[in-house]
Amino acid sequence: MILPIYTYGTRVLKAKAKPVKKVDAEVIKLIVDMFDTMHAASGIGLAANQVGKLQRVIVIDISDVENDKDAPVRDGIPVFKSHPPIALINPEVAASERAWSIEEGCLSIPGVRDVVERGEKITVRYKDTNFRDVELEADGLLARVILHEIDHLDGVLFLDHLAPEKRKEHKVELKKIQKGEIDVDYPVVTATAARVTSD
Ligand code: CO
């Protein structure tokens, strides 16, 4: 089931999500719905906050990134390695190194992109859908998406990493999003009202 995505200015994006205590049918349904929602919006990552649920769950799918015609290429080789889709429950960053800067966007902040510095190589610990402990070493785009999504669980947006004067450059666009003036082809909940809009 495709869920509406909460956009910039909604309170749930600023809230801290709570740890999942066990994986039950409700959590599985949330994960399935989050994959559906992310794919319908052509996203590569989604956090539960973005569908209005304050649970520490994120989904990521960068499996198609090497086929993306817009993906950066260096010497004919895609810079971004693909990875099978994953769901991470209660993810925590255990280590992060080699800072790098690339441009990010967010399904909750449509039309706004900017360069953010984060770790390039990380170790993340999380529970899988069987609630087993997993330790994953990730680098490149996968690390980037994991860090962006974990931020969401803590109520942090990529905009919060920008210097104040850089953030100011997006002021007009952000105001529009807050007012619900959004042109996207996926359902959203905007800050102006608990209003669901879709084309
Ligand atoms: Co985001």
Question: What would the two tokens of residue 36 be?
Answer: 């559906």
Rounded to an integer, what distance in angstroms lies between the CA atom of residue 182 and that of residue 179? 8
pLDDT, average across residues 51-58: 98
pLDDT recorded at residue 81 = 83
Residue pair 112/11 in contact (Cβ under 8 Å)? The answer is no
Beta strands in the chain (DSSP E): 5-6, 45-47, 57-60, 73-74, 77-78, 86-104, 114-127, 133-139, 188-189, 196-197
pLDDT digits 0-9 by tens, 12-43: 999 999 999 999 999 999 999 999 999 999 99
pLDDT digits 0-9 by tens, 141-160: 999 999 999 999 999 999 99
- pLDDT top residue among 66 and 89: 89
Output the CA torsion 171→175→181→185 (10° steps): 60
Q: Does the pLDDT at position 130 exceed 60?
A: yes
How many angstroms does the Cα of residue 195 sit away from the middle of ligand 1? 20
pLDDT, average across residues 114-132: 97
How many angstroms does the Cα of residue 198 sit away from the middle of ligand 1? 19
Mean pLDDT (the chain, rounded): 93
> What pTM was computed for the model?
0.92
For the ranges 51-55, 67-71, 94-98, 113-117, the lowest mean pLDDT is seen at 67-71
Q: Which residues are the active-site residues? A: 149
How many angstroms does the Cα of residue 56 sit away from the middle of ligand 1? 14
pLDDT recorded at residue 82 = 87
Domains along the sequence of the chain with CATH: 5-72+80-90+101-118+144-198 (3.90.45.10)
Rounded to an integer, what distance in angstroms lies between the CA atom of residue 97 and that of residue 56? 23
pLDDT recorded at residue 50 = 98
Q: Does the pLDDT at position 125 exceed 80?
A: yes
pLDDT recorded at residue 194 = 52
How many angstroms does the Cα of residue 161 sit away from the middle of ligand 1? 13
Tell me the helix, strand and coil percentages in the chain, rounded to 5: 30, 30, 40
Rounded to an integer, what distance in angstroms lies between the CA atom of residue 67 and that of residue 179? 35
Question: What would the two tokens of residue 44 be?
Answer: 């590569």
